[in-house]
């Protein structure tokens, strides 16, 4: 990748603005530094997700980490699938959240699709949802790409909640009325 002659940040590929490019680079670097030790300890394992975005009807069955490294193409495809469907804005999804989702995927079975209700939310979308619902946090982890709301067909919401809680990877919320489970990479807690 070409660099400035002064040794500053790399020049983004054609068609990608500098801010998005640098944010993506920062997210990849952060993800690499914060990747759970399990990822670094098992270089021959593969980490996989089978997802369906319920709002866009897009499916993705992808291996995002294998042989000790993240797959940038797979990460881009995941970021796209989990974009804010209202604004079409994309944001890098926290790599620790992907690892957490993979662990949940292993619990429910690779053949089952995880149905995504909400992934990334732009701050504007989050503010709008706060106005119409009392269950939306002002500083939602969704606006940072650190949260996801999911359900899995043929898996009871309560059972999915218990499986997610047992992973102890962050926050887990049970939303019985709407039949989904929230996961985030904040501190370990449940509600």
The answer to whether the pTM exceeds 0.85 is no
Strand-pair category, 114-118 with 69-70: unpaired
- In this predicted model, which residue has the larger pLDDT, 2 or 110? 110
Domain 44-190 in this protein, CATH class = alpha beta
- In this predicted model, which residue has the larger pLDDT, 62 or 29? 62
- Residue 1 — pLDDT band, cuts 50, 70, 90? very low
Q: Poorest-confidence range of 16-25, 107-116, 118-127, 143-152?
A: 16-25
Sketch the domain layout of the chain as residue ranges: 1-34, 44-190
**168-186 pLDDT tens trace:** 999 999 999 999 999 999 9
First-last CA distance in the chain: 46
**What is the average per-residue pLDDT within 86-93?**
97
**50-66 pLDDT tens trace:** 999 999 999 999 999 99
- Cα three-residue angle 159-160-164, rounded to 5 degrees: 120
Task: Specify whether the CB–CB gap between 100 and 183 falls below 8 A.
Answer: yes
Task: Specify whether the CB–CB gap between 56 and 31 falls below 8 A.
Answer: no
- Nearest CA among 38, 77, 49 for reference residue 169: 38
Three-class SS of the chain = CCECCCCCCECCCCCCCHHHHHHHHHHHHHHHHHCCHHHHHCCCCEEEEEEEECCCCEEEEEEEEECCEECHHHHHHHHHHCCCCCCCCCCCCCHHHHHHHHHHHHHHCCCCCEEEEECCCCHHHHHHHHHHCCCCCCCCHHHHCCEEEEECCCCCHHHHHHHHHHHCCCEEEEECCCCEEEEECCCCEEC
Return the DSSP state at 155. Answer: S
């Amino acid at each position: 990748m070409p660099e400035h002659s002064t040794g500053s940040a790399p020049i983004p590929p054609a068609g990608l603005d500098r801010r998005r490019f640098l944010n993506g680079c920062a997210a990849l670097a952060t993800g690499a530094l914060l990747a759970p030790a399990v990822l670094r300890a098992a270089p021959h394992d593969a980490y996989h997700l089978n997802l369906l975005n319920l709002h866009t009807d897009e499916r993705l069955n992808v291996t995002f980490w294998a042989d000790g490294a993240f797959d940038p193409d797979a990460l881009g495809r995941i970021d796209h699938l989990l974009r804010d469907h209202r604004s079409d804005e994309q944001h890098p999804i926290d790599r620790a959240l992907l690892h957490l989702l993979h662990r949940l995927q292993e619990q429910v079975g690779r053949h089952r699709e995880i149905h995504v209700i909400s992934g990334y939310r732009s701050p504007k979308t989050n503010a709008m949802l706060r106005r119409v619902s009392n269950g939306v946090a002002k500083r939602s982890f969704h606006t940072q790409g650190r949260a996801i709301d999911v359900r899995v067909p043929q898996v009871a919401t309560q059972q999915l909640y218990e499986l997610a809680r047992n992973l102890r990877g962050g926050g887990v919320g049970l939303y019985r009325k709407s039949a989904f489970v929230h996961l985030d990479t904040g501190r370990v807690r449940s509600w």
